[in-house]
Chains A and B, each alone.
Chain A
Amino acid sequence: MKKVFCAVLPLLLALFACAGCFTPNIIDTPDTEYEVSLDVDPDIEATLRILVPTTDGGMEENYINALIPGFQEMFPHVTIEFDRRAISDERYVETISSVISSGNIPDLFYSNTVFYYYLISQNCIVSLEPYYAAEQALYDQTGGAEGLSLETDYYENFFDMSSYEGRRYVVPRSMDSVVTYYNKEFLQDAGISPDDERLESTEENPFTWNDLLSLCQQVSDYILSEQGRADGYSLAYALQADFDWEAVFNAIMVSYGSQAFDEDGNIAIDSPETLAMAEMLRGMYDAGRIIRPVTSGSSFANGMTAFHFSSSGPSRMATNAEIADDFDALPFPLILDEEAGLTNPAIGCGFAGWGISSTTEGTQRDLAWQFLKYMISEEGQMALINAGLATPSIRIDLAEEKQWSKGYEHINLDAWLQWSDYKVSSQFFITQDPSATFDIYSALQNFMNNLTDPTSMGSSVRSVEMCIDIAAEDLAAAVR
């Protein structure tokens, strides 16, 4: 026994020392101010590695592929490599940490409205302010012939969405804004004319949440009627809202003045504003066949919902055979009711894009910037549009010309562009430690599911007060 102990102890100590040698690969805090060069040698020989998600059916990789020919005309000796990873809300931390641990870190990180905060806090991506500043200076010097001016040519607020402590980190590839699709045939069957003034969205007569509720109630009554059943709508619902999608629930919460946390980071979900919002949502559930449960299937329910919140472009929506030629769009309904004190409407929006890795330095970083710059150039944006990116371009000129939805001019494409002042991105996690982001997100998703689908797979019938209490507990657990 003594001999075994004497043999094992040094072995363990040796292994412990070896383990010490394997100090993990970690990223240091990057400089926020660094030297940039916008003059990259066109003959540079390099490889750019780009992180792309595999969980979107290859969509983002397809967009990058569309950019490669044009970029390689500028830099013929640059090769693009993909770092394909499973990226989802649940597994983002796991994915990024395995990327970093491997030591084989891509030059460009894929990000979106929720992920960017984690990437910044973990030092994964650098502030792009030095590039924006250099591009603006060049733009001013050359009278707009060269360089970039976000203020002049782009929807700058989408660039601002990846801000942290006043610095921007991600270049968005397009505008993602939630709109309200509606199924024209279904509405007509329910006795709602296309000229119904509730389906208007103008400065004088905006499309409001109350309009939506009134329309949904009419559709719900029709679904539950003999005629509705006879017409084959017995399994239909009025609205597919996806209330557990942050772009939707965040806009509703902001409109009601409801917050997950206050400015000091304290849990603030237990408020009269949240209660008012919760009662409104539960009222929708109680009113009959209005809210389609989250667990039952495909987008727009194959024509079995009358309204659908989505950020997809019309060409993507048209792939749904059941509604292919029979849909139109309105902006996200404005939650605007002065009598109820609701005067701060919000429309959910977000971004998907790429940030430059903090481990990519010098000329390689400048080259990575050139790729991002090409992505948001007119030529790059057209390449993305031709590759099927059917959401509005991040460039004002292309967006307003409706280049992004050729062939769908009969649809109200202004739905994506209207009320730009009301557009908000998700920031509900920003006062907390980044490691809590996804747990906070989960807590709010559960909250919305409990409110809007109280008999779903994951919950029993609960009062709105119980839902708020559970949300407060879940948020406390998330930020413990």
Chain B
Amino acid sequence: MMTRAKTGAAAAVVRAPRGRLKKRLKASVTGWLFILPMTFGICVFTLLPIIQSLYYSFFDYNLVSRFDFVGFGNYADIFSGDPEMGKVIVNTLLFALVNIPVTLVGSYLLALLLNVNVKGIKVFRVLYYLPCTMPAIVSGIVWSYIMRYNVETPGLFNQFLAALGLPMSHFFYADNFGAVASIVLMNLWSLGGGTIIWLAQFKNIPKQLYEAAEIDGASAMRRFFSITLPMSTPMIFYNLITNFIVTLQFNGTLTFAPNNGLGNGQATYMFGLKIYHEAFRRSNMGYACALAWVLVVIVGLVTVLLFKTNKWVQYDN
């Protein structure tokens, strides 16, 4: 009997977690059902293509008639055999170095302006956000006319420069860094998108902090540097990382730059466009997949680096 009783108790001990698990599963089945379509979608349309692209990156795959295993051959070509990579990397880094600070600071300053309590501020918020609702292809066409370089029929900017008696500029038709600088200028058009995130962050800053600072006689500038800026650092950090990723992936030049997006003298040939160009213009899908994975590694490394150096971010209230 003792043995039987002992065995029964032991069984009860073993069964208890199983029962809890079953109970928990039963309780959460509705939740699982709700997320099932999304999970399925992510697996089929995101996760699987990601893994598939990794698989293809080890093949010489031209999309139609060739699928030969080349091991790390595509990766070796990126670092040693592709004469375009130098230009692509320089253009991408220059673009990132200028675009990230300009868009971060620009959207932050715009958000500060739009955070002021004045009559009609909501109208301004809408107006600044409106350009973001315009499809990229449409804004690309509009900007190609605004920045047009043509002696007989100059674009809007060049008409403006001419009216001021200044020489016309090639903008993104230039075959030097001027083309990349013009894209940065063009990106200011959609600063409103970033301001929405900043505004949400500003609303989260406790009002008591500003009230206390005002009682202590802190000036507006002091309140900004001692309260607003430190309290925004988590969002600055988030925007820095996402901006970095978006900038490295940028291939918007396809819609407006000459030479099928490559620009004159390949002045606007950047990493994102290189991936598209290899995949869909040169049908080197395997090589394009390898490029995409190199980009993933670069983004991953920089993100880790940013996280390692994020002591300036103030997460506590």
Contact = CB atoms under 8 A, between A and B. Distances in A.
Contacts of A342: none
B63 interface: yes
Contacts of A97: 63-64, 280, 283, 285
B47 interface: yes
A391 to B, nearest CB: 29
A449 B121 CA distance: 48
A26 B66 contact: yes
Contact of B264 (A23, A455, A458): A458
B48 A15 contact: yes
Contacts of A15: 47-48, 51
Q: Identify which of A101, A295, A296, A439 gathers the most chain B CB atoms within 10 Å of its CB.
A: A439
A19 B284 contact: no
Contact of A28 (B61, B62, B65, B284): B65
B55 interface: yes
| Size category of the binding interface on chain B | 35 or more
B281 A438 contact: yes
Contacts of B144: 457
Contact of A93 (B82, B148, B259, B281): B281
A27 B65 CA distance: 5
B150 interface: yes
Contact of A23 (B48, B67, B153, B283): B67
A174 B174 CA distance: 42
A467 to B, nearest CB: 12
A100 B63 contact: yes
Contacts of A101: 63
Interface string B132-157: 00000000000010001111110000
A457 B150 contact: yes
Interface in B60-84: 61-67, 82-84
A26 B281 CA distance: 18
A154 to B, nearest CB: 30
A442 B260 contact: yes
A16 interface: yes
B47 A480 contact: no
B157 to A, nearest CB: 13
Interface in B252-292: 258-260, 264-266, 280-285
Contacts of A387: none
Nearest to A96: B64
Interface string A418-457: 0000000000000000011011001000100000000111
Contacts of A458: 173, 258-259, 264
Interface residues of A, number: 45
Contacts of A470: 264-265
B264 A122 contact: no
Given A19-B55, A23-B67, A460 B281 contact: no
A341 interface: no
B52 interface: yes
A24 B48 contact: no
A102 to B, nearest CB: 11
A47 interface: no
Given A15-B47, A26-B64, A97-B63, A459 B52 contact: no
Interface string B45-63: 0011001101110000111
A100 B64 CA distance: 6
A477 interface: yes
B170 interface: yes
Nearest to B145: A457
A353 interface: no
A123 B65 contact: yes
Contact of B283 (A16, A93, A446, A456): A93
Contacts of A16: 51, 54-55
Interface of A: 12, 15-16, 18-20, 22-24, 26-29, 90-91, 93-94, 96-97, 100-101, 122-124, 293, 295-296, 435-436, 438-439, 442, 446, 455-461, 470, 473-474, 477, 480
Interface of B: 47-48, 51-52, 54-56, 61-67, 82-84, 144, 148-153, 170, 173-174, 258-260, 264-266, 280-285
Given A124-B65, A455-B150, 14 more contacts: A18-B51, A19-B51, A19-B52, A19-B54, A26-B64, A97-B63, A97-B64, A100-B64, A124-B64, A293-B152, A439-B281, A457-B150, A458-B259, A460-B149
24 contacts: A12-B51, A15-B51, A16-B51, A19-B48, A24-B67, A122-B65, A122-B283, A124-B65, A293-B150, A296-B153, A446-B259, A455-B149, A455-B150, A458-B173, A458-B258, A458-B259, A458-B264, A459-B258, A459-B264, A460-B170, A460-B173, A460-B174, A474-B259, A480-B83
Which 3 A-B pairs have CB atoms at the shortest separation, nearest pair first? A97-B63, A458-B258, A122-B64
